[in-house]
Amino acid sequence: MAEEKPVTGPSRAVYVISVAAELAGMHPQTLRFYERKGLVEPTRTGGGNRRYSEADIERLRQIAALTAAGLNLEGAKRILELEAELERVRAELARVRAEAREAVERTHRYYRRDLVPLRQATVLWQSGAGRQRQN
């Protein structure tokens, strides 16, 4: 059976709800409400307790900023979804650009391999007589 690697970085869920609420500048009940509305999805422990990650805290701060700017929760949710989609599309675009760059470089390497040096003399063609004159 494969052993699970521990999650590290901003997606590692380490904060209990009271600490997450304090870090986000909100009341714990607000975090529960946001979870019910689908705005944030904290990780659950085996016992069912919520654990929030740095990414969750940042998302809560974004929600707070959007609602403070006058958006309702559904508008804030939609903006966050669109920002996530935009990030996914940007990553895909970067990947496709890298693939295209590699394909162009591969094509150039192929053409350079097939190049054959030519004689450097200029040959002029004289029409009518069908003769050639070299310079």
Domains of the chain: 9-113 (1.10.1660.10)
Cβ–Cβ contacts within 10 Å for residue 9, how many?
8
49-83 exposure pattern, b = at least 16 Cβ within 10 A, e = fewer? ebbbbbebbebbebbbebeeeeeeeeebbeebeee
- Residue 18 exposed, middle or buried by CB count within 10 Å (0-12, 13-18, 19+): exposed
Cβ–Cβ contacts within 10 Å for residue 16, how many?
15
The Cα 28–Cα 43 span in angstroms is 15
Q: What is the mean pLDDT of residues 86-98?
A: 97
User: Poorest-confidence range of 21-25, 68-72, 96-100, 128-132?
Assistant: 128-132
- In the prediction, which pLDDT does 127 show? 77
Mean pLDDT of the chain, nearest integer: 85
pLDDT digits (tens, 9 = 90+) for 13-69: 789 999 999 999 999 999 999 999 999 999 999 998 999 999 999 999 999 999 999
pLDDT of residue 124 exceeding 80, the answer is no
- In the prediction, which pLDDT does 126 show? 77
